[in-house]
Amino acid sequence: MTLVDPQSLPPADHLNIGALAGLFRHTTNSYKFVFFLALLDLLKRHRFDAERPYTYAEITIEMLALAWFAHTFFKLSFGAQDTIAKKLDALELHFAPSVNRFVRDRQALRTELQNSDLKDARRLMDFVPYRLLIPFLEPQLKGVDKGAWLVFEQAMPRITNAHFATARPLYRFDSDDYRQCSAILFHPDWIAYLETHFPIIQGWTAWHWLHYMQRRNPATPALASKLFPPLQRESLTRQTRYWRAILQHPEGAKLRCIYSGEVLTAEKFALDHYLPWSFVVHDQLWNLVPAPPSVNSAKSNQLPSADSLPAFVALQHQGLVIAQQVLPKAAFSKFTDDYLADLHLPSPAALLDIDQLQPAYEQNLAPLLTLAANQGFTPDWRYSP
C-alpha cells in the first residue's frame, strides 16, 4: 500500500473535505484508523455499493482481522490502553497463517473470527462509529457534551440522521435510537468520492496510522511493512541458488545445521531466517542459513537461543569463504552487498575475516534479538527432535 502525504486529499466542491481531513486529529488510540481502514476494505470488497447497509458485526470482524496481523503476527504495540489489541488478546485465537498465502489467510481469519465469541469485541461499536463523525457535524453538535459519553451516544444517531441530506456526513445510522443501531449506510456522494479516489484515501489513512504506530514502536524495523499483510512473500530463488552453490562444493558438503547438528545437503534444505521474517520483514542473505526442512518448520517465528549465535556466524563465514571461491567476482559482490551495508563492514575482505565478522554480527544482532523478545517473540528456542 502506498503512503500518501496528508495534504493531498482531492477537493470536492459539494463535500466537506476539511471534515475528512480532520478525522484523525488528537487521536490517542488506534480504533479510528482501524475502523476507517475496515470501512474502506468493506467498500472495495462490495464494489462501493451505496444501497447496502454495512453492519456493526461485519465491521467488527474486519477491524479485528486487519489489526490481527499488525498486533499478533508482527507483534506491534498499539499502546498500553488500546481497546482493539485487548479485544484480540482476549479472543485467544488459535490461528497460524502461512506467510506465503496472506490473502487467503485473511479470509480464513475472518472465518475464524466469525466462529468466535465476539460479544465483548462488538463493544468496539459502542464508541468509534459516533466519534468518527464529529468533524462532519460540528455546528449541529453545539450544546451536546461530547465528554458525557452516554449523552453523546444517545444524541449522535438522531442528529446524524436528521442532517444527513444537508450536512452530508460520511454515513448515517439505521436507527435514531442508539440502542437499536446495528449498521451504517454511506452517503452516496461520499461513496462516489471514495471510489474515485480510493488509492489516495487509503494511502492517506495508512500514513496517519503509520505516524501513530511509530510513536508506539520507535525502534521497530520495517514498521511500514508491518501495518498490513503483504499480498505475497518474495521468492527465495536467488538466496537458495547462493546456498546451493556453497553446499555443492566439497567443503560445503561438510557443513552442519546450527540447530540440530545434521549434515546439510544441497538436494534438500530450507532457508531459515535467524531473526524471524515477521520481525525483520526481509530476506537478506546475512540473516539466512540453510537448515533441514523439519528443523526450519519447528523453529517457525521463534528466536534462537543466544548460544546459537557463534555457530550461526561461523556458518555464515564458512559460506562466504566458499562463495568467494565458487562464484564469479561480480556475482559474489552482488550477493554480499547487503552484508556490508547492514552489518556496517568496511570491505568485502572483512566478510572473510571471522575476527571482523563475529563482532559485527554481535553488535547488530544482539539488540535486535532483545527488541524482538520485548515485542513478544518467543525467545531461547532450541531444536528438540
Q: Which residues of 115-139 are buried (b: 16+ CB within 10 A; e: fewer)?
A: eeebeebeebbebbbbbbbbbbbee
pTM here is 0.83
Look at residue 103 in the predicted model and tell me its pLDDT: 53
Count the helices and strands in the chain (H runs, E runs): 17, 5
CA distances from 294 to 242, 253, 380 (A): 21, 19, 18
CA–CA dist 33, 128 (Å, integer): 10
pLDDT for the residue numbered 54: 97
The H or E element spanning position 289 is: strand 288-291
Residue from 212, 190, 197, 371 nearest 279 by CA: 371
Biggest CA-to-CA distance, the chain: 82
Matching residue, cell 563482532: 359
Task: Name all contacts of 195-198 with Cβ < 8 Å and 24+ positions apart.
Answer: 195/43, 195/48, 196/10, 197/9, 197/10, 198/40, 198/43, 198/44
Below-50 pLDDT ranges, the chain: none
- Residue 3: the pLDDT is 54
- At 358, which helix (H) or strand (E)? helix 354-375
264, 256 contact by CB (below 8 A):
yes
Query: What whole-number distance in Å separates Cα of residue 315 and Cα of residue 262?
Result: 13
43 membership: H or E segment, kind and range:
helix 31-45
Contact 1, 206 (CB under 8 A): yes
Which pLDDT belongs to residue 123? Answer: 82
Strand order in the sheet with 171-173: 54-55, 183-186, 171-173
Residue 272's SS3 state is: strand
Contact by Cβ (8 Å): 39, 59: yes
DSSP code at position 80: T
Q: For the beta carbon of residue 148, count every other beta carbon within 10 angstroms.
A: 11
Q: What is the 3-state secondary structure (H, E, C) of 112-180?
A: HHHCCCCCCHHHHHHCHHHHCCHHHCCHHHCCCCCCCHHHHHHHHHHHHHHCHHHHCCCEEECCCCHHH
Q: What is the pLDDT of residue 124?
A: 83
pLDDT of residue 7: 59
Q: Exposed e or buried b for every residue in 314-338, given b needs 16+ CB within 10 A?
A: ebbbbbbbbbbeebeeeebeebbee
CA distance 130 to 176: 12
Identify the pLDDT of residue 213: 94
